[in-house]
Structure 1
Amino acid sequence: MLVFTNVQSVVTLICVLFLSGIVMGNLAFRAGLGVKRWILLGLLIGPVAYPLFNTHKHYAWRRSVGKSSGSLRF
């Protein structure tokens, strides 16, 4: 059975937040969004930022192509 002490819990939380910041920065770079903003958000709130990122990416895409245009994505 896994039992975490306080120190292990804090170290695990810091590692998850750090990894989340790196992943969010990479995703933002690939999507053409502000990298620093998403790295900071990933470091502060962790994996919770991922749904926010997807929504922001979708809105940015809709702004760039316009409301009346249609497209096929595969």
Structure 2
Amino acid sequence: MVVLVAGILAVSSVVMGNLAFRAGLGVKRWAAIGLMLGPIGYPLFNTHKRFAIKRAQGKGSVQIAL
């Protein structure tokens, strides 16, 4: 059971690090969050990524998704 939980946390860490790299966010920070929280950190990552995009775009801009 402990090995299963450790494996899930390790995989989550790698996935979160990869997603952070692709989004241009801090890789070490998100890999550590993935290691500590596991899959529960994914909604936190999505929210942070959305706020980072809005912050980079500035006020009053609109993003068009194709």
- Name the TM-score, length of structure 1 as normaliser: 0.87
- Name the TM-score, length of structure 2 as normaliser: 0.97
Shift of 1:28: 0.1
Query: Structure 1 residue 10 and structure 2 residue 2: aligned?
Result: yes
- For residues 63 and 34 of structure 2, the distance between their equivalents in structure 1, rounded to whole angstroms, comes to 30
Look at both structures and tell me which one has the larger radius of gyration over its CA atoms: 1
Pick from 35, 47, 56: which aligns with 1:43? 35
Q: Tell me, which stretches of 5 or more residues in structure 2 are unaligned? A: none
Percent of paired sites with the same residue = 56
**Structure 1 residue runs of 4 or more that deviate by more than 2 Å after TM superposition:** none
RMSD of the alignment, in Å? 0.5
- Structure-2 residue corresponding to 1:34: 26
Aligned length: 66
- For residues 71 and 14 of structure 1, the distance between their equivalents in structure 2, rounded to whole angstroms, comes to 38
Q: Give the secondary structure class of the aligned counterpart of 2:59.
A: coil
